[in-house]
Amino acid sequence: MKLHPVLVLDRTYAPVSIFSHKKAFILDLLNKCEVLQYYESVKLSSPTMDYPAPLVIRIPVLMRHWQSSAPTRRAVFIRDNFTCAFCGKIVKDSEVTVDHIVPKSRGGKWEWTNLVTCCSECNQKKGSKTPEEAGMVLLYKPKKPSGFQIALNRWRNKLNREFLEVLATYGVNIKKEAI
């Protein structure tokens, strides 16, 4: 079954996450959210009836400044859209690596601001040097992403026109959110 993205707002109407329509539907059944808007273009079917899929829901908690937790390899790749921080190449799943900007051997930590997505060639070239020592330049400065940015990047290729339009009405332009 195809999953449709649902924009999740917190108590203050700030966009905080993206759920699948299935998850939103269950939250609605359990009275854990308020559905603010339904898809016009997406109808879900049960044996007895068709009903619209939720497009925007609001959850009664405060998450405006919700930060993503400690980085995982996967979350670093998602934050960086699988783009090598040194050569800008989109890296395939099988060849993607995480680089410690300040090498581990020099006390560089496993934290958002010290980790970037790296292709295997750049990673080999850099070895256990700093970018300066290796004569390499970072194309972007890695930051700790918000939970919403991670959700956005995770769903990036599955966002449909109706969703993007509604996202814009909540002040989120997908190009500006790109890292």
Closest distance to Zn ion from the beta carbon of 86 (Å):
5
Q: Give whichever of 87 and 159 is closer to Zn ion, judged by the CB atom.
A: 87
Closest distance to Zn ion from the beta carbon of 91 (Å):
7
Instruction: Please check whether residue 20 is in contact with residue 4, taking contact to mean a CB–CB distance below 8 angstroms.
Output: yes
Q: Give whichever of 56 and 116 is closer to Zn ion, judged by the CB atom.
A: 116
Closest distance to Zn ion from the beta carbon of 166 (Å):
36
Question: Burial code of 3-31, b = ≥16 C-beta within 10 A, e = fewer?
Answer: ebbbbbbbeeebbbbbbbbebbbebbeee
Q: 168 is written with which tokens?
A: 């814009």
Q: 62 is written with which tokens?
A: 């405060």
Q: Give whichever of 78 and 119 is closer to Zn ion, judged by the CB atom.
A: 119
Site residues for Zn ion per CB under 5 A: 84, 86-87, 119, 122
